[in-house]
Amino acid sequence: MSSGLPAGVSLRAEAAWLDAADQLAGVRDRFVLDETTVYLDGNSLGALPATVPDRVADVIAREWGELRIRSWTESGWWEAPERIGDRIAPLIGAAPGQVVVGDSTSVNVFKAVVAAVRLAAADSRSRSRSRSRDEILVDATTFPTDGYIAESAARMTGRTVRPVAPAEMPGAVGPRTAAVLVNHVDYRSGELYDLPAITAATHAAGAYLVADLCHSAGALPVGLDEHGIDFAIGCTYKYLNGGPGSPAYLYVRREHQPRFDSPLPGWNSHRDPFAMTPDYAPAEGPARGRVGTPDILSMLALEAALEVWQDVDIAAVRTKSLAVTDFFLRCVEASAPAARVAPLTPADHTRRGSQISLRCADAKRVMGELIARRVVGDFREPDVLRFGFTPLYTSFTDAERAARVLGEVVS
């Protein structure tokens, strides 16, 4: 997204020109935003879509208040986990019938990792292999919860966890590997990892890949079906704007669904849930990933939030993401002393998600001052400033103002 402006034009003027040419600029109006604030924390909590308040009010007043129990059938509550999963599917490169919404990201990581280990064990038995696949490879830079869950899954299944840097995973996976758990985008640095290459190496070794998409879904193309990824999980309150604590999702590749052995079989994932039988018979399709009663209020808020994606091309989102983060880096370079802030996020587009992380010696104080001046990002210990760029509503003017205020604070 080149400006084409003559040399010497100010960054503020260039930002205005880029906003005027931005094909996604109109989508910003679909959100509730305070125009006096630059909000660059959508990688932690997305902004409120304008369609959500009225929808939630209707769910509470009419579907719950008037229809009550009838809404499970008359308002489509029962089918919501799969219906909303199909709304998310195209945003992560999946065909319908492979995504189910519900539970938290942590719970879904547990389901996916244990299911992957069980698939690998079944493969070994069917091929009469004497050596079992006794290790789970985990992204060494992962969000802490993923590591905690992997350790618990390993204890439960008699495996061990081996932390490996994502760049080294293709060479580390081998005949002992049952499953690989990797983040698509690093939550600290914003680095985008080569998920297709890691998946290909995992499959070549006979193991299964579990991808955490929390920091990529809704910000860039993922291509789950295209790249043969086995399982994927992710939250919906970041770039998907589903609201605080909105339910997560679980992707189970279609070919694995008949053998998906969830460690959390609940009545909602039973083939005949209302039969209330003591024996468990798993449902067909993505419903096999359900557990208990869906959290309907937050689930239907998420469904309304996903309406902002109507007519939005995820490829255009990626183009905007790279353009606005490039522009922000240029503005930071022009505004802030290099001795005070240094980019942590790779400049290479093939290795960048949709956030920019900067190293800053007193990051906590600096972020506090930025927020006081109505530029909202966040920080991670010990010295990382994080700025999340949500292409649906972050403008180039936002990027220029944030960098300019950052320069004032650190100078």
> Rounded to the nearest 10 degrees, what angle do helices 80-88 and 296-305 cross at?
30
Phi, psi of 282 (to 5 degrees): -65, 145
Enumerate the active-site residues.
143, 212, 237-238, 386
CB of 93 closer than 8 Å to CB of 223? yes
Residue type, 51: T
Residue 283 neighbours by CB under 8 Å, 6+ apart: 269, 270, 271, 273, 290
CB of 228 closer than 8 Å to CB of 208? no
CA–CA distance, 180 with 177 (Å, rounded to integer): 8
CB atoms within 10 A of CB 200: 15
CA–CA distance, 360 with 382 (Å, rounded to integer): 9
The two structure tokens encoding residue 12:
């503020």
Which single residue is written with the structure tokens 């091929």? 127
Which single residue is written with the structure tokens 């308002």? 75
